[in-house]
Amino acid sequence: MGAAAGALLMLVSGSALAQQAEHGHGGHAPREAPYAAHYDNRYSHGRYYTTRGVEVAAVPGRSYVVAHGGQHFYYSGGIWYAPRGPHYVVVGPPVGVFVPVLPPFYTTVWFGGVPYYYANDTYYVYNGPQGYEVVEPPGDPSSGVQGPQGPPYPGAPPPAAGGGHPEGEDIYVYPQQGQSLEQQSNDRYDCHKWAASQTGFDPTQAGGGVAPDQTVARSEDYRRAMRACLEGRGYSVR
């Protein structure tokens, strides 16, 4: 993986601990443990995340295991964890580590013509086949311009308007069967993977992973597949 030759990425299933996880929705804090969450509204991000330093018994949801600098980190829902004895502690990600996908919710911020993807006090930049790299904040964070607008550049992934979910900026999902926040996150991820496999379009990849002349049609196919999958799991999708 080039600069990330020492990084190992693999998808694993984590245990359910929604009360300790972010997996936030809108402006609502996790009701089970509000004392353990902080509200990140930089660039109008508007999400709650588990506070760094909080210890949990298990990593929630579906996580990526990342080996970096001789240590293992767990990445789930925009939150990073490190092992601590039999448990896990919420930490900040190491600069220079790569992940294959952006957090479920992120805000696109432009600095000097370059898009940064922001979530939970962390900045990511797209780095081609290696995925998304965690980088230092720009020299002057206040100079960033929020939003999808900006000059195009080769290999740019399609940014989502207003920091929406990467699988489609025009999809709004409402649980109809009392699904927990963790279940909502898992269902969206599963439907994203299914829709990408069915349509060949993956919005987490540069240009959706398709030829430029196919982007519009394939992205519409992807959204229809996402909608069908989520509705089949008991959600209202608009």
Q: Report pLDDT digits (tens) over 27-79.
A: 444 433 334 788 888 888 888 888 999 998 998 877 788 888 888 999 988 89
What single-letter amino acid sits at 205?
Answer: Q
**What is the residue extent of each domain of the chain?**
2-94, 107-163, 173-237
Tokens 């004895």 belong to which residue? 85
Contact between 22 and 120 (Cβ < 8 Å): yes
Q: What percent of the chain has pLDDT over 70?
A: 71
Confidence of residue 181 (pLDDT cuts 50, 70, 90): low
Q: What is the dihedral of CA 34, 57, 182, 15, to 10 degrees?
A: -170
Count the Cβ atoms, other than its own, within 10 Å of residue 218.
20
What one-character DSSP code corresponds to residue 4? G
209 pairs with which residues across the strands? none
**Model pLDDT for residues 108-122, shown as the tens digit of each residue:** 888 877 888 899 999
